[in-house]
Copies of this chain bind each other. A is one copy, B any other.
Amino acid sequence: MKPNIHDVAKIAGVSSTTVSRVLNNRGYISEKTKEKVYRAMEEINYFPNDLARSLFRKRTNLIGLIIPNSSNPFFGELAFHIESICTSMGYKLLLCNSLHRKDKEEKYLEMLIRNQVDGVIAVTYNRGILNYHKQNLPIVAIDHYLSDSIPVVGSDNYDGGKKAAELLIEKECRHIVHINGPIELTTPANLRRKAYEDVMHKHGRQPITYEVPFYQDYHDIISTLFDEQPDTDGIFSSDDIMAAAVMTEAKKRGKDIPNQLKVIGYDGTETVQSILPELTTIQQPIELISKTAIEILAKEIEGEFDDIPPETYLPVRLLEGRTT
């Protein structure tokens, strides 16, 4: 069996209280005793059981991360940064892929509660998460409004949408179309659309937005867009994956990018940038978003609710490639 603190105590010839003190570097312990205890721990290859510690302390240093899907480059990178930062702060990360499904989100949340996580970082549109907030579990949301009391962190979506739309106008596109996710979602990402529409109106243009519902194949919608809007010479896609699909469809139809059609995406993940460096896009500061979200969550965990901003929007950056 795995050795426990009593085994260490026996070998070191002290009480388990003393071993615990050495472990936690707490109270006065003579150097000699410390030595003995360390030697004993090493001898039997002892590692403290964090379950027992957490049970007593009512603190697990466990954080739950609920994202739709770590396969997606944006979420994959978000998960990477969040995990890295958590680790550097002494937190451990429980990964949950909800696939945007409400039932899964709820089950995951219950699992996280049962596992006594100290807090949850959620990228989810499911306001059902609210019900759990009553348990006063610290939560921070990324790019989604979950409730008035849950802080949100994200990129400056309005500015990103504005930058994208303005670039296409600047590049003298005449017929600019926008592709976005479902509008019902209460996500700040809708601000990308709002900004696009505002810019269009400001320039006396008619905004046209194609919506991609969840679970629907965006290829069909992009194909429809090309059919219905043959004059399109500028497309602002609210994410890079769809922008790539637009590029593929344009190539298929013999439309030259950027001469006949200019394309700009959103996210600017390392992955997409490395695979498709020509894609112009609005880059989200994923690492900064991660860092900010964790810092806010850490404050909630420590009970410092005073200086937590309800919404934090981090600056985006225009990455100009050759598609515009």
Contact A83 B111 (CB under 8 A): no
> Nearest residue in B to A322 (C-beta to C-beta)?
B251
> Nearest residue in B to A65 (C-beta to C-beta)?
B95
Contact A84 B97 (CB under 8 A): yes
Question: For A271, what are the chain B residues with a Cβ–Cβ distance below 8 Å?
Answer: 71-73, 241, 271
Within the assembled complex, what's the spacing in Å between the Cα atoms of A114 and B84?
Answer: 19
Q: What is the oligomeric copy number?
A: 2
> Nearest residue in B to A48 (C-beta to C-beta)?
B114
Return the contact of A45 from the options B50, B52, B116, B134 (Cβ within 8 A): B134
Which stretch, A147-155, A272-280, A292-300, touches the partner chain B?
A272-280
**Given A47-B114, A94-B92, A70:B60 Cβ within 8 A:** no
Q: How many residues of A contact B (CB 8 A)?
A: 54
**Given A50-B116, A83-B70, A110-B47, A93:B95 Cβ within 8 A:** yes
Q: What per-residue 1/0 map shows which CB atoms of A245-288 lie under 8 Å from chain B? A: 10010000000000000000000011110111110000000000
Q: A residues bordering B, Cβ < 8 Å?
A: 2, 45, 47-52, 54-55, 60, 65, 69-73, 75-77, 79-80, 83-84, 87, 92-97, 108, 110-111, 113-116, 134-135, 240-241, 244-245, 248, 269-272, 274-278
